[in-house]
Structure 1
Amino acid sequence: MGGAFLAAALLARLGGRIGLPTIPLFILAGILLGPHTPGIVLLSDPHDLEMLSALGLVLLLFYLGLEFHLDDLLAGGRTMALAGGTYLALNVGAGLGFGFALGWGTAEALVLAGVLGISSSAIVTKVLVDLGRIGNPETRPILGIIVVEDVFLALYLAALQPILSGADSAAAAVMDAGKAFGFLLLLALAARFGTRVIGRLINTRDDELLVISFLGAAVFVAGVSEWFGVADAIGAFMVGLMLGSTTSGERIRKLVHPLRDAFGAIFFFAFGLSIDPGDLPAVLWPVLAAVAVTLVMNVLAGVAAARVNGFGAGPAANISTTLLARGEFALILATMAAAAGLDERLSPFIAGYVLVLAVLGPLAAGRSHWLARILPGGRDDGTAGGIGTAGGIGTGSRGGDTAVVTPAGTAEAVPGRR
């Protein structure tokens, strides 16, 4: 574990000197020190870091929840559903069509629909944090799309499981989906109406007790969520929504930072451990074709989401590139497919596809202004469409500073402004 932290830190330091994002470097550290490459092997079994990796994902999504109020999401409920539904229709539909075009089988096509259709919540969160875009106006629809994806994910897994296992019980699938939705509704009601009570329960002047309390709440609810068939990450996200609106919210945001960064790095390192570079050449061309399909669909979905929210070319480019990466959900599907005895090409294909987009996504997000220049309206305003909303400047005022959206499409903190 110490070697994992040090290797991730060393590569990130070296890459930072030439402007590379940390996510692909953490993944590269896992590949180089994993069991599938020659040289030093820190861990022969990637599952040894499974719990720490899960904690990293939980903390990443918990932090994202802290940055938003439930009222902010509810206020844009209709546009959120429309943007998220459009994103899923384009990407899941394209993934299903791509799966059938490969000719690997119907069950395999259904798996590929989810692989190509669902973004990585962990990488999206890390990109938003690293690029300082939490306060950008387009971050709300990005978050909305993630929430819609997670709701879809619960249904999708419930429906896919009996297909992969060979079961034909529609009643069991409906029951699982109903259980997941019921728990999501319970979390939403607690976040909407229980904030005051939760705030009193967790409030304390002692930082040590506060850390133990919010960490316990996030991890416990994440575990219960998984038991109910809801992604553990969405459970942690909902806890973040609840606690972010309490009087302790600002202190929690500061205290969770080092935990989020440390265990987030382990999450991406563990992802790298699971990748065997030797399996990738056999599926190189399908991987490149899938990446091309995802790029096109994400641009179309980003433009559609931006128009629904009244944004210009810059925010559209930010939405498109930020949601590009695929990750933890695709790896879950790869595990399910292997257990079900599906086509043996699926696992290396998914690993290669996720690896390429995990590297390409953060790089593209940091250079989204290049895409903005070629989108409709990107040259009309002279700034590649990167300023805020239609004709305005977007700001976000969580915390003590104001995040001002620059022409490059990023957010710069302006101290003392609200």
Structure 2
Amino acid sequence: MGHAETLIALGGAFVAAAVLARLGGRIGLPTIPLFILAGILLGPNTPGFVLIEDPHTLEMLSALGLVLLLFYLGLEFHVDDLRSGGRRMALAGGMYLLLNVGAGLGFGLALGWGTAEALVLAGVLGISSSAIVTKVLVDLGRIGNPETRPILGIIVVEDIFLALYLAVLQPLISGSDGLGGTVLQVAKAFAFLLLLAVAARWGTHLVGRLFRIKDDELLVVSFLGAAVLVAGVGELFGVADAIGAFMVGLILGNTTSGERIRELVHPLRDAFAAIFFFAFGLSIDPGDLPSVLTPVLLAVTLTLTMNVIAGLVTSRIYGFGPRPTANVATTLLARGEFALILAAMAASAGLDARLSPFIAGYVLILAVVAPLVAGRSDWLARVLPDRRPAERSTAEPPVTADR
């Protein structure tokens, strides 16, 4: 694709996403499924006008969108939250993974497509989409809600698990590298995560001095460069770029420049997030869905059920009432970028050909349904039990739709 064609494709992607989002806003629809729909309709997998023939055209900009979303997530997550609530965060995240990854593994084995395929499906059904979760929290205005800290904590635990999971899964499904290679990959990923954790715990003061910049332009260049660089280095060590960007945001959010960085990153985050979800739609072929429709619908039902159970478990850990519980269960419902990475890994390893259309259909349905369900979480809250002591449960206001 030539330079002019690339610019037309990029400009068309922005315009299409904006038009659909404005139309959806008039009838109360969230932006995420509309951005994805724009990518599907203008991509190579649907009939009619094709704006972008090759989904890889927007690959780098899409990666930048994911980095900025997770960088913003880190800015909103404070080191004090890790210090004061680290044990509960680890317990809630661990229980979420146990329930969802375990259910995914059981579902994969029940399908009978093979053991390697079941291991892939365990990750597909078990890990939330960090990008969609972050966008849902922003769009619904829930960043300051009490349940948002546990939601972010679960995302952090998932991303750490993801780094180690990918390091182990790759040699298992490809049959290469052996035990030594697997151990080395896990060790590299763990060492990089440990280095980031040390920087977040003890390096904030030093980093704060480096980013004490008066000029907004230089500050934007500096924090954007740091987020992208660390995300790229993380990829080299077998750690998802998302967790690298998140940790940079976590560190910078606790510096004296943190508030300015939050304000400056907003327009960048929103613009490139739109491209991320548009590119996400380009990669999905809805024509593949009919061949695997039954297992996809079963998987979606299973995910809905396990997320409600995980929300109830989280509410017991944190002492939440029905409304925060419903928000936890519905906000973490989406599956996305990680599942598509697993689909690519499965295809390159020569696993069952049904995996790719299954993952595409499953991700498409949840990516569209999850933001809609999250916006109507008060419906679920009305039927959830309130297991808190009477003196505590009376403090929570009546269930209403929150934005």
Normalised to the residue count of structure 1, the TM-score between the two structures is 0.91
**Partner residue of 2:171?**
162
2:195 corresponds to 1:195: no
1:49 corresponds to 2:58: yes
1:116 aligns with 2:125: yes
Q: Over residues 135-157 of structure 1, what are the superposed CA-to-partner deviations in whole Å (9 max), with x where a residue is unaligned?
A: 11111111111111111111111
| Match of residue 399 from structure 1 | none
Decide whether the 8 Å contact of 2:295 with 2:358 is kept in 1. yes
Aligned counterparts of 1:378 and 1:356: Cα–Cα separation in 2: 32
Distance in 1 (CA, whole Å) between partners of 2:311 and 2:13 is 35
Work out whether 1:285 is the aligned partner of 2:277: no
- The structural deviation recorded for 1:29 is 0.1
- Residue 130, structure 1, aligned to residue 139, structure 2: yes
Contact residue 320 and residue 388 of structure 2 kept, 8 A: no
Q: Deviations 1:38-81 (Å, cap 9, x if unpaired)?
A: 11111111011110000000000101111121111221111111
Q: Which of the numbers 298, 308, 320 marks the counterpart of 2:307?
A: 298
How large is the Cα RMSD of the aligned pairs?
Answer: 1.6
Q: Which residue is 1:207 aligned to? A: 216
Q: Which moved more, 1:287-296 or 1:275-284?
A: 275-284
Within 5 Å, give how 1:4-23 maps onto structure 2. Answer: 4-23=13-32
2:76 aligned with 1:84: no
Equivalent residue number for residue 356 of structure 1 = 365
AA aligned to 2:91 is L
SS at 1:125 equivalent: helix
Aligned residue for 1:415? none
Q: Does 1:99 align with 2:108?
A: yes
Determine which of 30, 38, 58 is the counterpart of 1:29: 38
For structure 1, the residue ranges without an aligned partner over 5 or more in a row are 382-388, 394-404, 412-418
Q: Deviations over 1:248-274 (max 9, x none)?
A: 111111110000000000000001001
1:225 aligns with 2:234: yes
Rounded Cα–Cα distance in structure 2 between residues aligned with 1:102 and 1:251: 50
Aligned residues: 393
2:321 is equivalent to residue 329 of structure 1:
no
Amino acid aligned to 1:312? G
Partners of 1:270 and 1:378 in 2: how far apart?
43
Q: Is the 8 A contact 1:315 1:409 kept in 2?
A: no
Question: C-alpha separation between the residues in 2 aligned to 1:173 and 1:391?
Answer: 52
Are 1:244 and 2:253 matched, yes or no?
Answer: yes
**2: CA distance between counterparts of 1:234 and 1:16?**
31
8 Å contact from structure 1 (residues 4, 269) kept in 2: yes
Query: Contact 1:314–1:409 (CA<8 Å) still a contact in 2?
Result: no
Shift in Å, 1:172: 1.3
Paired with 1:164 and 1:244, the residues of 2 have a C-alpha distance of 38
What residue is the counterpart of 2:262 in the other structure?
253
Higher helix content, 1 or 2: 2
8 Å contact kept, 2:386–2:393: no
Show the counterpart of 2:400.
Answer: 408
- State TM-score, norm by structure 2: 0.95
Name the % identity: 77
Measured at CA, do residues 139 and 376 of structure 1 come closer, stay the same or move farther in structure 2, by a change above 3 Å? same
> 2: CA distance between counterparts of 1:182 and 1:106?
29
In the alignment, the residues of structure 1 paired with residue 277 and residue 90 of structure 2 have an alpha-carbon distance, to the nearest angstrom, of 29
- Output the CA distance in 2 between the equivalents of 1:16 and 1:143: 26
CA distance in 2, matches of 1:391, 1:327: 37
For 1:408 and 1:212, how far apart are their aligned partners in 2? 41
The separation in 1 between residues aligned to 2:128 and 2:106, in whole angstroms, is 18
2:36 alignment partner AA = I
8 Å contact 1:62–1:218 — kept in the other structure?
yes
CA contact (8 A) 1:34 1:44 kept: yes
Q: Is the 8 A contact 2:321 2:388 kept in 1?
A: no
| Structure 2: segments with no counterpart, 5+ residues | 1-9
Give the secondary structure class of the aligned counterpart of 2:382.
Answer: helix
Report if the CA contact (8 A) 2:382-2:399 is conserved: no
